[in-house]
Amino acid sequence: MNILGKGFADNQEKIKGIRRADNFAKMAVSASNKACLNFKFSNEDTDISIILCTQFGPHVTTFKFLNNLLDYSDSGVSPTTFSHSVHNAAASYIASSLGIMGQSITITSFQDPLKQALILADAWFACSQAKKIIVCYVDEESEPISAAHKHCTFPSYSKDSLSTGAAAILVEKGDDIEIPEKIFNPFTYIKEI
């Protein structure tokens, strides 16, 4: 794969046009927009794809939805909060923001989701499923996950703390990137490639 652009975002990003989106989606959109800054996609582009990857998904929004469900029952829960608790909501926001009509998928895994996303992107290129792919890694901290994270044995990038932010790359078929055996920190890896 060859890199055409990179973008990074944190939870302080201000994005116009998606005011109802949660921080998870806003970070993903901001990083992806920055990675695609020099490219304009048209609504006819069905060969541009999106792969969003994350360790924990939009768990902050999911916890908010579950808390509201417990507090107000199903009749008092916001449908917007529910729709943003779905893992693929951020990919939908990216597609809408950039006008992309191609395929998208979200990969959620405790173990190396960015590596899995890069392997999938490489496979899509090998099968001529896309000409360009936005690969976006996004995660955010929360008290429940941070507390559990320090005491669990599931594999993840860091036992010390979780990171909040998003990093995206726009890639095309090529030989510039070799997928490593292990990606120890997605943000550092994307900065260095």
Its domain, for residue 168, covers 2-192
Q: What is the CATH number of the domain that holds 107?
A: 3.40.47.10
pLDDT tens-digit series, residues 91-140: 999 998 898 889 999 999 888 999 999 999 999 999 999 999 999 999 98
Cβ-Cβ contacts under 8 Å for 158 (sequence gap 6 or more): 185
The total number of structural domains that make up the chain: 1
At residue 23 the predicted structure's pLDDT band, cuts being 50, 70 and 90, is confident
Q: What is the end-to-end Cα distance of the chain in Å, rounded?
A: 11
